[in-house]
Structure 1
C-alpha cells in the first residue's frame, strides 16, 4: 500500500496504483454544474489532473490558483482539479477566486477517481478524501508524469509538473518522435 504524510504522520493510500507508462483509467467526476466530466484515457490532447484533498484549505486553494494561471499558457491540454468537495462548494470557490482556465470535478459520489488512480486516503484524520497528487497524461492517454506529494500539507513540485506538461503536449510525429 502506498503512503504519504499528514503533518509528518504516515497515512496509507488505497486504490489501484497507476504509474508512468500505464494507460490512465477513464472515470467520471461531477462538475460544478452537476454534469459529468470524463477524465483519463485517450482524448487527443494532454490532460493535467490536479488532485487535492479540499479546495477549502489554503494549500489546495494556492495550488488551484497557480494551475489556473499556468493552464492559460498550455495549448492542446485540458486541466481538471479533482477533490472530494461538493460541486456547489467547488463552483463557489471558482467564482470567488476567478478560476476560469480549468475545470473542477468532484469525486464525492463513488470515489471512482480516487480508487482508480490510487489516491484515496485510507486512514488518518482525512480518511476518505484524496491525497495531493498530479497526473499528466499524453494525448494517447498514457500517464507521462505522476507525483503523489510526500506531505499532504505542502504544494507539489510545480517545475517538474510544468516540464512534464510541456513534454506531453509536444506533437510526436514520424520515427516515434525521434526525427531530426
Structure 2
C-alpha cells in the first residue's frame, strides 16, 4: 500500500546550474533559467538546492517524489493543528505512514549535473533557438518562383513538444522518477 502525495510546494532555487558549454550563439542568447525550468518540469531530479513541502495522505509507504531530498520535519494533522511526529523508515528508503495527513518539509537538490543532462540542455536550447530563428509565430508560409512552389506549415504545438522533438526527453528518461 502506498500513501499519496496530495500537494507539493517547491521553492525557487537561488540559481540554476551553469549553462553547459558548446552552444551556438543563438542558443546562448536564450534564457538559460527558462530552459532549466523546462527540464526540471520533465524530471524528478534537482541539481540546485531549494525548499520543498509535501502534504501526504493515507497509510503505507511514501517516498519523496523529488530527489535528492533532505527531510527536516515531519508533522501529522491532529485535531486542528500540525504536531511533530517521528515515522519509521520503510524498507525501500522512504517512510512508513500509519495513516492520516502528514506534512514533510525540507530541501531538494544538489550535486553535479550529469553530462547526459547537460546534453539534454544543449539539445533543447538548440531546438528552441532554431524554432525562434524560423519565424516564431508563423503558422504557414508559401513561396512561389515561376512554376516551383514550396509550402511549409508549422504546428501550433511545436513549442510545447520541444522536449520530445529535440531528443532531450529521451536523454532524460532515467531521471523522470525519484
**TM-score bin (small chain):** under 0.3
TM-score using structure 1 length: 0.23
Structure (1 or 2) with the larger CA radius of gyration? 2
